[in-house]
Structures are given as structure tokens and as C-alpha cells.
Amino acid sequence: MDSFIIKGGTPLVGTVPISGAKNAALPILAATILTDEPVYLSNVPQLQDISTMLELLGGMGATFERSSEAAYTELKAQTSSIFRYQAPYELVKTMRASILVLGPLLARFGKAQVSFPGGCAIGSRPVDLHLKGLQALGADITVEGGYIHAAVPDKLRGAQFTFDVVSVTGTENVMMAAVLAEGTTVIHNAACEPEVVDLANFLITLGAQIRGAGTPHLTIEGVTRLGGGEYRVMMDRIEAGTFLAAGAISGGDLTITDVEPHAMNVVLEKFAAMGVELSVSANQIRLNTKGKRLKAVDITTAPFPGFPTDMQAQFVAMNAVAKGRSTVVETIFENRFMHVQELARMGADIKLQGNSAYIAGVAKLTGAPVMATDLRASASLVLAALVAEGETHIDRIYHIDRGYERIELKLNDVGAHIQRQK
Ligand code: EPZ
């Protein structure tokens, strides 16, 4: 099991390129099921979760031509050869986002068996709203033997559906199914995340008729079939925020490139409130701490355009060494403070009460052996290790490989001292 050994204390200085968004590439890859024509994707991030999605689709019979043997940054996806409609337990248990094949399989083939996704470290992660939304479009859905069995008697039909809770992949699943349904679907209380918009834009490139992406009300006019096309996946705003946090926590001067700042407004406001100097251009962001200690900021996570839950752990790490006290409230997931006890092992002063973390910034953290528990928690441990005195040993970093492309190489390129140990 891989681990990182990180020697802290060096301010990060330089430029980091940001990769494609994991949470846009995953639904877009699932959406290739919806057409029998070839689709050309670019800016696909090289991540464990993407490899898992490719394996899942490949197991159904889809084929992918890569840009090169080593990488699949560019991909030609062909799903006309799909002959199996199942997402098996072995793959779904490693990646919950496998549920994203359910809507497209139903829409294209009228049937699907998807292993019921379990919870994960950050919460129970129910999929009840996915199923209710697909049932509203006419799907028969039963759950037995640990599998979701879904079928459509004849064709999916457009319907009105309101999400009780804003769900990113729930919105994506129902939107993908609605694209080939008969008639009009209106989704209320839809997720507005940029990744949902990216999926909608991809589907529109293939000929789908979708209005209102990025707002809580999505209208989809069903079409009989989709064509092929090419599409560039949007940048990963969470990777971008994580690298800005690395520059901030280390007292450095870091520029990130290939970014879309408009997708990061609330996060950039929080960085500014911490006292860093931000220079924002069309596709670059420079964060300069000017060697000053960060100021603590309060955070409350919320669906987009609120503060993203996927950046919460990274801001807890920064607040842990910032000047002053802060409160971080996690409103999306019920167990997304697993990083707190690990940060405490490094000297952080954080009290947990319900869904709130009360943080008193300390002057310094010290390196210690810690354990990654989930994707973003592991990112926060890397951030803390960058500023901690001495060496930090982070175990189970397979979590971080799920969502960050070559993180240690990108960070070492700007002055970090991270060694990956097999
Ligand atoms: C997506 O997860 C992201 N994953 C998550 O990123 C992200 O944290 C999350 O959205 C919130 O922004 C992908 O896009 C692949 P939700 P998702 O459905 O869709 C409840 C990362 O680190 N809910 O928006 O699974 C749920 O319990 C990952 O990259 C139901 O009750 O999240 C939660 O409280 C982690 N019933 C809330 O909605 C449902 O059927 C939001 O969850 C579905 C969700």
C-alpha cells in the first residue's frame, strides 16, 4: 500500500498546470453510452477513478482508443459494441460514481443491473433520489441481491421531477436518462455545479436539447437519438483549489494554469479573506502570500454556488495554522471530518461538535505518521505536511490517487519534498 513521506517547511513557488475535472469526466464517460457514434474526448484526467470507469464501460463491451499507450488524456470512445448492461459489485464497491451508468443504460437499452453502491468514509451516500427520478420517467426499479434491477417496459417518458435534496450525480443520472425519453422532462431543485453544466454542454454537442443547466430548473426535450462529436472536459476546480491551498499554507507564491476562475468565485473570496494576494486572469490564478501568516476564515459548505464540500478539508488544514479562531460547518455529508483526528496528531487544535469544527490556529504543526481516509481528507493531510516541521508519513494514499493526477510530481515541481513509497 503506497505511502508518502513529506518533509515540510518549504514555501511553494512556481506554476502548476491543472488537469481535467474528475467529476465532469466521470458523468461524460457514462454519457457516451447514449450514442452509437464515436465520441472524441480531450483533457481527460489520468486518475484511478477514470481508469475504473473505463474498465466498467469496457466490461460492458465499449471500446476506447487512447492518445498513447501511457495516457488517455485524449480518448476515442465507441459504445456501439455494448452487449452487457451490468455494473458489477467488484467495480462499484471501489467507485460509487459507477451509479452514473444507470440512467444512460436505461435510456439507450431499456435495462440495467447496477450493484447497489454502499456508503463510504464520508457518509451513507444514499441513491434513493436517483431511483425515484428514474421511476418518474417510467423505469421499473427493484433492489434485490445487492443489485439495482432497472427496466423500461417500452420507452422512458418525459416527466416533472423535484429533488428533495440537491444531488449532483442524481441530477446527472436523471438528465442523461431524459435526453432520450419521449417528450419533455423538467427537473426542479437540480444541482447547479459546473460539472453538471459541463455534462449538459457535452450532451448538447451530441444533439441533446437541454435548457437551464447551471440553474435549479433543467428542461430536457427528449430526442430519438444522439450523434457523435468531440468535447474537451472542463478543468478540475477542486484540484485547482487544492493547489492554491498548497501555495497558501506553505507561505509561497503559486500560479495555476488552464483554469476557469468563474467556477471558483466563492473559494477565491475565501482565499482573499485569508489575506493572500490573488491575481486572476482568463485562465490563470496567482496566489502570493508575501510570506504573511494566513488569517482564519469561517466556512459553511453548501451546494453550488455555495462553498464546495470538496474544499472543506483543505480549508480546515489552512485554518489549523492560520492566525485566529474559525468555525467550519459541513452541511452536505454526515461524516466528512475524518481528517480532523489526523491533523490533531500533528498538533492541530480542533474541537468537533456535530457537523461543526471549531479551530484555534496554532503557530506550527509537527510531522507525524498519519492515515488517509478519503480523497479530500488525504489532500488536507498533504497540505498540513507541507507546512509541518519535520517529516510526515501518510499511509493509504491510494485515496489521493483517485482524484489527483500525479500530485507529488506537480508539488515537487514547485519546491515540495514528497517521496512516494511502495
Ligand atoms: C458528488 O457526489 C461528487 N462526486 C462528490 O465529490 C461531491 O462531494 C458531491 O457531489 C457534493 O458536491 C461526483 O460528482 C462523482 P450528492 P454525489 O448526491 O453526487 C444526499 C469528491 O471528493 N443524497 O450531491 O454522490 C447525500 O447523502 C466527491 O470528488 C440523498 O439523500 O453527492 C448528500 O447528503 C466526494 N439521496 C447530499 O444528497 C440521493 O439519492 C449531496 O450528495 C443522493 C444524494
Q: What is the pLDDT of residues 305-352, one digit of tens each?
A: 999 999 999 999 999 999 999 999 999 999 999 999 999 999 999 999
120: annotated active-site residue? yes
The active-site residue out of 5, 120, 186, 302 is 120
Question: Over pLDDT 90: what percentage of the chain?
Answer: 94
Question: Residue 398: its pLDDT value, please?
Answer: 92
Pocket probe for ligand 1: among 128, 169, 236, the residue whose CB has the most ligand atoms within 8 Å is 169
Eight-state DSSP code of residue 157: B
| Closest atom of ligand 1 relative to the 375 alpha carbon | 22
CB 334 within 8 A of CB 355: yes
Percent of the chain with pLDDT strictly greater than 70 = 100
- The per-residue pLDDT for 411 is 98
Q: Residues 277-293: what's their mean pLDDT?
A: 97
What pLDDT shows up at residue 70?
75
Grid cell, residue 343, equals 491533523
Question: Which band of pLDDT confidence, cut at 50, 70 and 90, is reported for residue 68?
Answer: confident
* Per-residue pLDDT tens digits for 252-282: 999 999 999 999 999 999 999 999 999 999 9
CA 280 remoteness from chain centre: 23
CA–CA distance, 385 with 418 (Å, rounded to integer) = 9
Ligand 1 center to residue 155 CA distance, Å?
Answer: 28
Q: Is pLDDT of 189 > 90?
A: yes
| Cis status of the peptide bond prior to 88, with omega within 30 of 0 | no
Q: Tell whether the model's pLDDT for residue 82 goes beyond 90.
A: yes
C-alpha torsion sign, points 308, 366, 289, 12: negative
Residue nearest atom 39 in ligand 1 by C-alpha distance: 127
Average pLDDT of the residues in 190-196: 98
CB of 156 closer than 8 Å to CB of 200 = no
Quick check: CB of 167 below 6 Å from ligand 1?
yes
Identify the band that residue 121 occupies on the pLDDT scale cut at 50, 70 and 90: confident
Q: What is the mean pLDDT of residues 201-216?
A: 98
Q: Across 157-240, where does the E strand assignment appear?
A: 160-162, 184-188, 209-211, 217-221, 229-232
**CA distance from start to end of the chain:** 6
| DSSP string over 343-407 | HHHTT-EEEEETTEEEEE--S--B--EEE--SHHHHHHHHHHHHHSBSEEEEE-THHHHTT-TTH
- Give the number of the atom of ligand 1 that is nearest the alpha carbon of residue 169: 19
How far from the centroid of its chain's Cα atoms is residue 422's Cα? 26
**Is the pLDDT at 69 greater than 80, yes or no?**
no
Which atom of ligand 1 lies nearest, measured to the CA of 100? 15
From the CA of 168, how far away is ligand 1's center (Å)? 6
Q: Is 250 exposed, middle or buried (0-12, 13-18, 19+ CB in 10 A)?
A: buried
Average pLDDT score over the chain: 96
Q: Which one is predicted more confidently, 154 or 37?
A: 37
Sign (positive or negative) of CA dihedral 50, 56, 57, 63: positive
Q: Ligand 1 center to residue 6 CA distance, Å?
A: 31
What is the number of the ligand 1 atom nearest to the C-alpha of 49? 15
Q: State whether the beta carbon of 100 lies less than 6 angstroms from ligand 1.
A: no
> 97 CB under 6 A from ligand 1?
yes
pLDDT of residue 422: 87
pLDDT value at 110 more than 80: yes
Q: Is 9 in the pocket of ligand 1 (CB under 6 A)?
A: no
Strands (DSSP E) along 167-267, which ranges? 184-188, 209-211, 217-221, 229-232, 253-257
pLDDT mean over 385-395: 98
Sheet of 229-232, strand order? 63-66, 75-78, 39-42, 229-232
Nearest Cα residue to 252 out of 288, 295, 280? 288
